[in-house]
């Protein structure tokens, strides 16, 4: 296997389980490919007699060259008796859901969060995700520490959105613009689905070990889409005219 390059990192295909592409230029550095298609640069090392793994960051934000430079810095710290994994764990213990959502949105806007089919999410989906984060997730659990979230907390988010606890009318950036936020079964199901995705992102980033939203039963979202008939298109066109 040749050294890691942008070309072979870009072309790496997702499989059913995680796998690694090793860098021959710098032993201990590799590219981890997730089933979702996401790719992360990782170092493997030993500290205090134990094998450790440390994620540098996502491919896209990081290039092989930058990851290689960062890996050398980290290996230098390890040689001096510093464990980067332990330091990150200390930092992650204090991260809140709001802060996690901020990181998620940065990667989302950079095209690093994959949607269905392993492709970046569409702009319309991103707008919806931002709305659910700001209007439902952050008001309900934004101040909670991510590591403290439980399945019971996720179920409470579901019930609170269904009950309309996050309902409201909010100003938008447009002149006299207003956004009406309503709860209900559909909004709750989609909000918890998004929250689960954000927590999976946290697992992949090494912030938490398991996703507390896994196994939470969400009500069915009854929204359906269909193609309009020719007559319906004509009616719609005449109304808009």
Annotate 183-231 with three-state secondary structure. CCHHHHHHHHHHHHHHHHHHHHCCCCCCCCCCCCCCCCCCCCCCCCCHH
Question: What CATH number matches the domain at 6-91, 3.30.365.10, 3.20.20.140, 3.30.300.30, 3.30.160.390?
Answer: 3.30.160.390
pLDDT in tens, 175-218: 455 566 677 999 999 999 999 999 999 988 878 889 999 999 99
Report whether pLDDT(233) > 50. no
Question: What CATH number matches the domain at 94-240, 1.20.120.790, 3.30.413.10, 1.10.10.10, 1.10.150.130?
Answer: 1.10.150.130
> How many other CB atoms sit within 10 Å of the CB of residue 60?
16
What pLDDT, on a 0 to 100 scale, did the predictor assign at position 237? 47
In the beta sheet, which residues pair with residue 120?
A: 114
Report whether pLDDT(172) > 80. no
Report whether pLDDT(223) > 60. no
What pLDDT, on a 0 to 100 scale, did the predictor assign at position 219? 86
For the chain, which residues make up each domain, given as ranges?
6-91, 94-240
> How many other CB atoms sit within 10 Å of the CB of residue 169?
8
**Least confident among 1-15, 97-111, 144-158:** 1-15
How far out from the chain centre does Cα 71 lie? 24
Report whether pLDDT(234) > 80. no
What is the pTM assigned to this prediction?
0.61
What percentage of the chain reaches a pLDDT higher than 90? 61
> How many other CB atoms sit within 10 Å of the CB of residue 29?
24
Q: How many CA atoms lie within 13 A of 185 on its CB side?
A: 7
């Amino acid at each position: 296997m040749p050294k890691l390059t942008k070309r072979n990192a870009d072309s790496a295909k997702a499989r059913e389980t995680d796998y690694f592409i090793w860098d021959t230029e710098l032993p201990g550095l590799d590219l981890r490919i997730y089933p979702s298609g996401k790719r992360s640069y990782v170092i493997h090392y030993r500290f205090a007699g134990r094998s450790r793994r440390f994620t540098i960051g996502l491919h896209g934000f990081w290039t092989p060259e930058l990851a290689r430079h960062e890996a050398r810095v980290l290996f230098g710290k390890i040689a001096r008796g510093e464990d980067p994994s332990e330091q990150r764990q200390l930092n992650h213990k204090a991260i809140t859901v709001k802060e996690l959502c901020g990181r998620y949105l940065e990667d989302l806007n950079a095209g690093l969060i994959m949607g269905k089919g392993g492709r970046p999410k569409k702009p319309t989906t991103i707008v919806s995700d931002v709305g659910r984060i700001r209007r439902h997730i952050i008001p309900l659990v934004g101040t909670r520490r991510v590591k403290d979230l439980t399945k019971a907390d996720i179920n409470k988010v579901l019930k609170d959105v269904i009950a309309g606890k996050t309902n409201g009318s909010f100003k938008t950036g447009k002149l006299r613009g207003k956004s009406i936020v309503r709860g209900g079964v559909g909004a709750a199901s989609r909000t918890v689905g998004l929250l689960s995705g954000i927590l999976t992102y946290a697992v992949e980033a090494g912030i938490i070990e398991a996703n507390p939203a896994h196994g939470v039963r969400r009500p069915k979202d009854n929204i359906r889409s269909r193609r309009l008939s020719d007559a319906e298109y004509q009616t719609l066109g005449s109304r808009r005219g």
